[in-house]
């Protein structure tokens, strides 16, 4: 992020609502880019490299779900989805393609700002730290040294296991699909079947579940994928 100012891309086809959200975010000292449709949004994503996205689900050309799926192929930035739909299945679909949060219209701008700030802290607050620490698991992850400790004991991980752990622990409580985990850690040229990620997760769990309290940091989100469960 430039000079620690979060750059937010807001995608909303209702002009009045778009302007209100933009103005509210500007008052909170965020940098704001706007788009009224999916095509312009994807251009802005490529050209402006936003740190955060707020997108409407129902757009005139490309849906918010499609935009999220495209963004998730290359970036793990926070995404909040706005929608008039309230059905559970719609929320699940949005979260499955990679949205971090879901707000049903009508919503209060204060709630939106609070959710933005919470996600900002979770993602960029944790990412800024050289060492990620999770006291509930006695777990410390040193990004630069690429070491992992449970208490005083070092946990030896393979490169793939460390990359998996770092990705999930840097965005605690966010659910990643198997495809997202593979693309982010092994790259697009990885030809393994996506269920092979289950084997890596199984091995990683064996090494991380040795904390004295017996807490299990990696949780399965059935039908979707996995997440790092941050116990506060």
pLDDT digits (tens, 9 = 90+) for 206-230: 999 877 767 889 999 998 899 998 8
Average pLDDT over residues 99-106: 85
pLDDT at residue 38 greater than cutoff 90: yes
**Higher pLDDT among residues 177 and 11, named by residue:** 11
Q: Which of 44-53, 132-141, 172-181 has the highest mean pLDDT?
A: 44-53
**pLDDT, position 228:** 94
Rg of the chain in Å (alpha carbons)? 18
Lowest average pLDDT, out of 59-73, 87-101, 138-152, 160-174, goes to 87-101
Residues 181, 197 contacting (CB under 8 angstroms): yes
pLDDT at residue 231 greater than cutoff 70: yes
- Match 């409407």 to its residue by tokens: 56
Judged by DSSP in three states, 150 sits in strand
Query: Could you say which DSSP state residue 182 is in?
Result: H
Q: Which of 17-26, 80-89, 132-141 has the highest mean pLDDT?
A: 17-26
pLDDT at residue 18 greater than cutoff 90: yes
The encoded tokens of residue 201 equal 């997760």
Burial label, 61 (beta-carbon count in 10 A; 0-12, 13-18, 19+): middle
Helix locations, the chain, DSSP H:
15-27, 38-48, 64-72, 88-96, 109-120, 126-128, 159-170, 178-185, 196-208
Judged by DSSP in three states, 15 sits in helix
**Higher pLDDT among residues 25 and 130, named by residue:** 25
Band of residue 3 on the pLDDT scale cut at 50, 70, 90? very low
Domains and CATH numbers, the chain: 2-127 (3.40.50.2300), 129-228 (1.10.10.10)
Phi, psi for residue 145 in degrees, rounded to 5:
-80, -15
pLDDT at residue 128 greater than cutoff 80: no
Look at the chain and count its residues: 232
Kindly report, residue by residue over 147-183, the tens digit of the pLDDT. Answer: 999 988 899 999 889 989 998 998 888 888 888 888 7
Lowest average pLDDT, out of 26-35, 199-208, 211-220, goes to 211-220
Average pLDDT over residues 2-16: 85
Burial label, 109 (beta-carbon count in 10 A; 0-12, 13-18, 19+): middle
**pLDDT, position 189:** 42
Share of the chain above pLDDT 70, in %: 85
User: Omega before 106 cis (within 30°)?
Assistant: yes
**pLDDT, position 191:** 46
**pLDDT, position 60:** 92
pLDDT at residue 22 greater than cutoff 90: yes
**pLDDT, position 118:** 84
């Amino acid at each position: 992020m430039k000079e620690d100012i979060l750059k937010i891309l807001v995608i909303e086809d209702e002009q009045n609502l778009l302007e209100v959200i933009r103005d509210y975010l500007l008052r909170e000292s965020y940098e704001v880019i706007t788009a009224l449709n999916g095509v312009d949004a994807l251009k802005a994503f490529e050209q402006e490299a936003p740190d955060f996205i707020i997108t409407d689900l129902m757009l005139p050309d490309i849906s918010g779900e499609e935009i999220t799926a495209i963004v998730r192929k290359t970036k793990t930035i926070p995404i909040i989805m706005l929608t008039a739909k309230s059905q559970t299945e719609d929320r699940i679909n949005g979260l499955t393609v990679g949205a971090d949060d879901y707000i049903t219209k009508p919503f209060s701008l204060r709630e939106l700002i609070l959710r933005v700030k919470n996600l900002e802290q979770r993602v960029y607050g944790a990412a800024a730290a050289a060492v990620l620490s999770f006291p509930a698991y006695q777990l410390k992850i040193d990004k630069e040294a690429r070491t992992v400790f449970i208490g005083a004991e070092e946990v030896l991980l393979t490169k793939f296991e460390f990359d998996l752990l770092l990705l999930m622990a840097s965005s605690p409580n966010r659910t990643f699909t198997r495809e997202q985990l593979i693309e982010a850690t092994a790259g697009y040229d990885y030809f393994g079947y996506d269920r092979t990620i289950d084997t890596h997760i199984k091995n990683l769990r064996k090494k991380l579940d040795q904390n004295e309290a017996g807490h299990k940091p990696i949780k399965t989100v059935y039908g979707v994928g996995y997440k790092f469960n941050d116990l506060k």
